Amino acid sequence: MIVSRWPIRATRLLRHHLVPPARVRLATADPAPEGETEVGWDRPVLHAEIEMPDGRILHVFDLHLRAPIAAPVPGQKAGAQTWKTASGWAEGFYLASIKRAGQALETRMAVDRLFDADPEALILVAGDCNADLEQTAVRIIRAAPDFTGNAELANRVLEPLEQAIPEERRYTVLHAGTPVLLDHLLASPRLAGLLREVAIHNEALTDEVDHADEPSPVSYHAPVVAAFSL
């Protein structure tokens, strides 16, 4: 959800508008399929254009990328949480990786279109990426120059604002006692230059593994909050 005190000029949902579904020939499905299987994204990405008082547009992308949990493979599940074979689980994990990377690619392509129109665009990509900064999905969205090998693309990088937070506080989830950073605010160079402060409110965070089997109305992810001088 995106909420704004300023007018939201336009919104759109991105799901296979820029990147078609991947097609794979499943290797472990039982029975074996005759042809290829379409692998689509689980969720769309929400893009909102927010009109600021001076007329400038702030582009906000809200996303929730696929979790690193194996996707179903026909004939390979013995139960909701039980796989029949290790290879079946592995292929399901492979499919989940395609979904997560595909969502990230569609987000990056949408961001690049905005940079094509305005190199100084104010862009923020926010949400649960289910990946830390060095994992594939976030690297795709960020497109840092050391990833692309092209310094001329530096003006298209998305900066992780949470990097300004002390390392010992830089986590949004506790998983089996390990703090991990899965939620990000990724800003265009122009917007990152206007950052005033950023914080992760993880003071009262509880371990998500301890509540894995409990329905809950609250999230076990800590919010990342940033303020800008716009």
CA distance 169 to 167: 5
Strands (E) in 80-158, as ranges, are: 82-83, 122-128
Compute the distance between CA of residue 164 and CA of residue 170 in angstroms, rounded to an integer.
9
Provide the 3-class DSSP secondary structure of residue 129. Answer: coil
Token pair recorded at residue 193: 């230059």
Q: Beta-strand (E) ranges in 31-87?
A: 37-39, 45-51, 57-64, 77-79, 82-83
pLDDT tens, per residue, the chain with 230 residues:
999 999 999 999 999 999 999 999 999 999 999 999 999 999 999 999 999 999 999 999 999 999 999 999 999 999 988 999 999 999 999 999 999 999 999 999 999 999 999 999 999 999 999 999 999 999 999 999 999 999 999 999 999 999 999 999 999 998 888 899 999 999 999 999 999 999 999 988 887 776 666 666 667 899 999 999 99
Q: Which CATH class is domain 8-228?
A: alpha beta
Q: What is the helix (H) or strand (E) element at residue 167, kind and residue range?
A: none
